[in-house]
Structure 1
């Protein structure tokens, strides 16, 4: 059959039905012109290149936002979370004020960003291509940031989510088995065996393995497959010492120059974390882990130095804490006290006190890992 006959037989409605089976993430593309902010829901958005970082956004040429992006030469991709279907609907239909009731923040490049979005990517248009009814904007990434959560998806004409709830439950069961040391360090986790043990299909077991790999609990060996990652004192000490060095540097650079808003955010994150450790136990370790990471991430970000922030992000702090602290609900208020010392020291612009808090927290963490490893023969 020739390409012409295929094209004539395939009408637009049928094609939409077929490609609707391709699940995609949901975003709101925004920009700003002299007339104000513009935005529209878009699911035809994807990363194009990692080096250099580039994005591709396809917008209907009839939409005002497409003309606005063409005029401004910049756009932001706001990735929606699974609880943001209302935003997807609001920006998908024509309206005099699409931004009504929507919280906005200004991006690093003065683009309007949806405050609730899961992630933000600001781009500069380097090429505009016409493809049928749409304009294709190739964008060079200027800045990118992401928070926690699961993405909203578009599938067969509706908004929803993948089987995250089911697959996440499978992942958490597998994670518990690893943390409870049901598998020896260095043991191979075979996909079919894991699926059988968990009573799930191979797809769910594979999802669990990829999440465990992202957590650093397993690692991919090219010849053996997924292997339980060994964890020992050397790994722990190196990670906590590296975090300490970064944070001590940040404090030395910023302690006397922090503004009220920066300190208020640090205090807010500290209180959120402290509420999850009551007495000598974690109320919810996973939530504590996220809050703890958010606290220290903000501390490092006070320097306003992307290289320091990237170095902190590369330390796999969550993995180390999960492998050690996550193996038992028992902990100590001493950790909160040390992090309170950091917070209060910075609030007083007392670099020495804040630094002492960092060093105290680091030594507490290293010692606690030693106590935990002492019960497991020195490795997890």
Structure 2
């Protein structure tokens, strides 16, 4: 049987953002690669790690050549792979940043091979570098495994930009996608949601969508009709006032309780996010979506000063930004209240100025509430 060959597709350059978005669908473990050089420990978060051979046992890790840990590995000729446990997302975040004292506040021990091993890691593999190769911006370190140990537990997984237990990363991804879909109002309030069709559109399982709708019901964004189907609820001015009052209370509470003594690297991270956010354009639909997501990440980083993943997750769930895309796109937001407020808040946080930070957040929340009320009134009092 003969077949007609498929014409080759026209070759186009694959951009870094597109590649990252597609490859993010590959779930991987999260590790911290460590070494020690002249008595100083080095470490960086990495997910590009793989077993290479069983006989002899060999591993490979890929590190960006701009990393100080990369340079230390080149000189030390040894490295340890610390496979993180599900509860060590904070460790992954700390070692993923540049320029900070990553080992400060991270319990670890030095092995008999002279390598830093992070306490609480699910597994550790100590390697001696036997070969290297280069690829793009990274060096591939091929190591012969010298020693390995593991304990019972769940691994920390990385999936589409999120770190958590693998099942929870899929749940979180689905929750965010369903929530965004509801807030964009593709179906009117009171209209039954087809769970199977929505699951197919979001490329996930119906059970994940169903569970997401159950959780959104607890937040008041969906409800069940007489036949048991989920339907979007109407968004009223009272609902918006209560929601933004809760967001404001959480954010101000964190600032008043934690800003003064926040770690320097955490404030540096918030400053980086704020500076980048204030420069983002919002002229096109895609740019606006990117801005709204980056804005939420910026405020969640502030909540992260409390050191509670649960509080950060709760704050993230209180966002209904997709509902106000028209408001954010207005000249009033861009020129008068939006980007200038972000810059002022970033500067106040960097200076550990809690009173100014609180005042700016109050102004920002009041502006959003007023703008939301105007949108709701234009649409008859509910959305």
Shift of 1:184: 2.0
- Which of 98, 101, 110 is the matching residue for 2:60? 98
Change (3 A) 1:149 1:31: closer
State whether structure 2 residue 242 is matched by structure 1 residue 238: yes
Deviations, residues 227-259 of structure 1 (Å, cap 9, x unaligned): 223322222222221221122222223343345
- Which of 272, 297, 304 is the matching residue for 2:276? 272
In the other structure, the counterpart of 1:311 is 311
State whether structure 2 residue 29 is matched by structure 1 residue 27: yes
Deviations, residues 59-111 of structure 1 (Å, cap 9, x unaligned): xxxxxxxxxxxxxxxxxxx995xxxxxx255x444676734526679979799
State whether structure 2 residue 324 is matched by structure 1 residue 325: yes
Scaled by the length of structure 2, what TM-score is found? 0.53
Shift of 1:348: 2.9
Separation in structure 1 between the aligned mates of residue 235 and residue 90 of structure 2, nearest angstrom = 44
In the other structure, the counterpart of 2:161 is 149
Is the partner of 1:227 in helix, strand or coil? strand
In the other structure, the counterpart of 2:371 is 368
Residues 348, 357 of structure 2: 8 Å contact kept: yes
Separation in structure 1 between the aligned mates of residue 158 and residue 364 of structure 2, nearest angstrom = 27
Where does 1:43-122 land on structure 2 (aligned, <5 Å)?
87-89=48-50, 91-93=51-53, 98-99=60-61, 101=63, 113=92
State whether structure 2 residue 364 is matched by structure 1 residue 352: no
**Pairs aligned (count):** 270
Separation in structure 1 between the aligned mates of residue 377 and residue 183 of structure 2, nearest angstrom = 15
Shift of 1:346: 2.4
Change (3 A) 1:282 1:317: farther
Is the partner of 1:138 in helix, strand or coil? coil
Separation in structure 1 between the aligned mates of residue 202 and residue 313 of structure 2, nearest angstrom = 31
Q: Which moved more, 1:202-211 or 1:313-322?
A: 202-211
CA RMSD of aligned residues (A): 5.2
Separation in structure 1 between the aligned mates of residue 90 and residue 352 of structure 2, nearest angstrom = 33
Deviations, residues 295-343 of structure 1 (Å, cap 9, x unaligned): 11111222x442xx52342145564112x21356623120222232222
Is the partner of 1:379 in helix, strand or coil? coil
Residues 282, 288 of structure 2: 8 Å contact kept: no
Separation in structure 1 between the aligned mates of residue 91 and residue 185 of structure 2, nearest angstrom = 47
Is the partner of 1:378 in helix, strand or coil? coil
Scaled by the length of structure 1, what TM-score is found? 0.53
Residues 276, 282 of structure 1: 8 Å contact kept: no
Shift of 1:372: 1.4
Residues 193, 230 of structure 2: 8 Å contact kept: yes
Residues 248, 362 of structure 2: 8 Å contact kept: yes
Shift of 1:363: 0.5
Change (3 A) 1:350 1:181: closer
Shift of 1:188: 0.7
Shift of 1:269: 0.6
Shift of 1:349: 3.0
Shift of 1:29: 6.4
Shift of 1:360: 0.5
Is the partner of 1:284 in helix, strand or coil? helix
Shift of 1:203: 7.3
Separation in structure 1 between the aligned mates of residue 378 and residue 193 of structure 2, nearest angstrom = 24
Where does 1:286-297 land on structure 2 (aligned, <5 Å)?
286-297=289-300
Separation in structure 2 between the aligned mates of residue 97 and residue 206 of structure 1, nearest angstrom = 38
Change (3 A) 1:211 1:360: farther
Residues 273, 291 of structure 1: 8 Å contact kept: yes
- Which of 364, 379, 382 is the matching residue for 1:379? 382
In the other structure, the counterpart of 2:137 is none
- Which of 298, 302, 321 is the matching residue for 2:301? 298
Shift of 1:359: 0.7
- Which of 253, 256, 259 is the matching residue for 2:260? 256
Residues 246, 312 of structure 1: 8 Å contact kept: no
Shift of 1:220: 6.7
Separation in structure 2 between the aligned mates of residue 379 and residue 339 of structure 1, nearest angstrom = 29
